[in-house]
Amino acid sequence: MEFTKGHGTGNDFVILPDPDGVLDLTPELVAAICDRRRGLGGDGVLRVVRAAKHPDGADLAGEAEWFMDYWNSDGSFAEMCGNGARVFVRYLVETGLVAPAVGDALPVATRAGLVRARIEGDDIAVEMRRPRLYAASAAALGGLTLPGTAVDVGNPHLVCPVPAGLDLAGLDLTRAPEVDPAVFPSGANVEFTAGGAPTAGVDAHVLMRVYERGSAETLSCGTGACAVAAVALRDADRETGTVAVDVPGGRLTVTVTNDSCWLSGPALLVATGQLILPTRRP
C-alpha cells in the first residue's frame, strides 16, 4: 500500500491514496498502521477518496470532488479533524490532484459536512463551522475537577481553563480525562488552557494542551484550537476576532467570523513509501 506521512503542528497522519474507495480499511488495520512501534505511527489515518465513491461523502459529491475519510489512531471514526483537513489539502495540492491558485477556496467533503480551504503562502487555512458553545460541564483528571465549556465544532469538545497556580505543562495526560456522559454521550476532545502573553495582531493568546478522543494526548488539535478560540473570545466579551493558540507542536491562528471559523497554520508532508500490511494469522 502506498502512503504519505504528514503533520500539522505535530498532529501527524498517515495518508492513504484510494481514489476509487477500494481499500478494505478496518479498525484493526488502522490501529496497526498508527502503532508507533509496530506500524508507521500517527494520530490518525487520512484516506483520500473521491466523494462519489464513499457512502459518507456521496451526498456532497456535487460540491466537492474529494472526501476526507478520517480515522482516529484507535480505529474509530471522527466527524472532523481541522489539522487533518489542512494536511489533506496539502496532499491534494502537492500530488496534483487539485491545482488551486493562492487564495482560491477548495471544497473538501468530510463527515461534518463541507469545508473550504485556501493556501496562504506556506500555511493552509480551512474554513469550518462557527464553534457553538452550548453547556457548562467539567473534566475529572487525576483527582482534580476542572470546570469547562462544551463546544461543538462538528465534533465535541470540552474547554477547561487551568486555574491560577496550576501548571498547564505539569498536567498528567497519560490517561483520558473523565467527562459527563450526559453532556458527551460519545466522549469528547478535552482542551486544557492557560492565558498567553499579549501578542500583536490578535485579540487573544492562549496556551493549550489536548487529550483527543480516540488518539490520547496529541501535539496539536485543529478543531480543539477553534473551540479554545471561541471560549477565549467569549471571555473577552467578543463575538468575533482572531486568536493565537500555542500548542506543543507550534502555533495555530483561529479567526472566528459571524458565520464560520478559519483555522490557519503549517501543514507539511514529510515522507512517502510503501506500507507492508500486517498479515492476519489463524
Please identify every residue annotated as catalytic. Answer: 81, 221
Cell 493565537, residue located: 244
DSSP H or E run through 193: strand 189-195
Backbone torsions φ then ψ of 155, nearest 5 degrees: -135, 160
Cell 477547561, residue located: 160
The SS3 of residue 39 is coil
Nearest to 12 by CA among 80, 110, 89, 87: 87
Q: Distance (Å, rounded) from C-alpha 10 to C-alpha 58?
A: 31
Q: Distance (Å, rounded) from C-alpha 133 to C-alpha 158?
A: 10
Could you tell me if 147 and 138 are in contact, meaning their C-beta atoms sit under 8 angstroms apart? yes
The SS3 of residue 235 is helix
The three-point CA angle 29-116-70 to 5° equals 10
Q: Distance (Å, rounded) from C-alpha 174 to C-alpha 58?
A: 38
What DSSP string describes 106-151? EEEEETTEEEEEEEETTEEEEEEEPPEEEEEEEEEETTEEEEEEEE
Using only C-alpha atoms, the chain has a radius of gyration, in whole angstroms, of 18
The SS3 of residue 268 is strand
